[in-house]
Amino acid sequence: MKTIVEHLAQYAAYHRNRKNVATHLIGIPMIVVGILTLLSRPVLPMEFMIITPASIAVFLSIIFYVRLDIPLGLLMTVLLWFALAAGRYFAAMPTELWLSWAIGLFVVGWVFQFIGHYFEGRKPAFVDDIMGLAVGPLFVVTEVVFMLGLRKELKADVERQLEQ
């Protein structure tokens, strides 16, 4: 399994333009909420919890992120929980509204992505490595963490990896 530095550096290689990163800060959360909204139906009610394809996807994602980096994985857990809550909120709406929100968030999120890659002049990372779809949300969160001046050593490691 690749390290967090390897994943982030590989993804960052496709995202050097600040406009591209900015569009990802908007687009990726929209895509995540859109997907989780779509996957929040059907519902399998259990005595003590509700299981949906969305909750399974979030659970598997959390395992991936925590294995890469515990602090960032825990942050991703909180953020994915909020995204899952939003998805469940939209999924509780009448079918037309549920689908409108889910598809709308998904499509508009991808429009932001492709606008960003127009500025970048480079194709999206997932075209060369499908794992880019899983790394994208982590990249966005990590970029915000870096902008806040946190995890300086991780940022330096990613930048060193990028230079190689």
Residue 11 has pLDDT above 90, yes or no: yes
Residue 161 domain-assigned (yes or no):
no
pLDDT of residue 132: 85
Alpha-helical segments (H) within 13-127: 18-38, 53-68, 70-91, 95-120
> Contact, 100 vs 111, CB < 8 A?
no
Residue 164 domain-assigned (yes or no):
no
Residue 48 domain-assigned (yes or no):
yes
When pLDDT is averaged across residues 145-149 and rounded to a whole number, the result is 98
Residue 78 has pLDDT above 90, yes or no: yes
How many distinct structural domains can be found in the chain?
A: 1
* Average of per-residue pLDDT values in the chain: 94
Task: Dig out the tokens for 71 from the structure.
Answer: 């602090």
Residue 119 domain-assigned (yes or no):
yes
Residue 60 has pLDDT above 90, yes or no: yes
Residue 14 domain-assigned (yes or no):
yes
pLDDT of residue 127: 79
pLDDT of residue 44: 85
3 state DSSP class of 37: helix
Distances in Å between the alpha carbon of 59 and those of 81, 88, 109, 115, 119? 10, 15, 22, 30, 34
When pLDDT is averaged across residues 75-83 and rounded to a whole number, the result is 98
Residue 48 has pLDDT above 90, yes or no: no
pLDDT of residue 9: 96
pTM recorded for the entire structure: 0.93
Q: From CA 150, how far away is CA 71, in angstroms rounded?
A: 12
Q: Provide the domain limits for residue 38.
A: 4-156
The per-residue pLDDT for range 32-46, each reduced to its tens digit, is 999 999 999 988 878
Q: Which residues contact 64 (CB under 8 A, 6 or more apart)?
A: 134
Residue 162 domain-assigned (yes or no):
no
